[in-house]
Structure 1
Amino acid sequence: MKMTAKITHRYFEFNPKNGADYYALISAKNKEEAINVYYRDISDRDDEPDTDCKELTSAEAWKKCQNADDVEGELSIEEKLEEFEGNGVILWPMELIQ
């Protein structure tokens, strides 16, 4: 499937290798917004945000979404694309779901 939608978001990856508490892939307008979403929705710390993240291209982020396991069962490619085009947390750690 070829992506044809205009990309309106930027994608940021938080990784424990870079000092994050948990892995997360977040869609946001900018890095500051992504960090705020990470601390609001993912991190269990109340500290001031000090975690760094890596910006991914939309192609890199989409590949990670396609390869990610789906907790609720198999999502269709259309459902994954809908989540991918949304704003906010796209992928998060399994520990937070269970």
Structure 2
Amino acid sequence: MKQAFTARTTGEQGVLEWFGLGETVAIGQLIEVIRAHHQLDIYTVGEHWCVQLFDPNVDANDGVSCISEGSSTELVNALYDALEWIYDCLTDK
């Protein structure tokens, strides 16, 4: 399992920089930044890691629907996708 996400494109690098992160980001850093903006749930299905995002003021354990969901065979990629979704929402993209 990859332990860090490294930006491969200028777009990915721009997202990381917008959140004050470097070109290479550890899994823990991604989780901390995501958590600063949303509640999150991380789980696995088969070979895939799944990340669900919830409104920051909602308890994700109360059976509420998520506002974003993504998955990848690499946890770090699923986390980056969640971060990119947050970036798009915050920058109205």
Q: TM-score range by the shorter chain?
A: 0.3 to 0.5
TM-score, with normalisation over the residues of structure 1? Answer: 0.34
Q: Which of the two has greater helix per residue? A: 2
Q: Which of the two has greater strand per residue? A: 2
Higher relative contact order (CA 8 A, sep 6+): 1
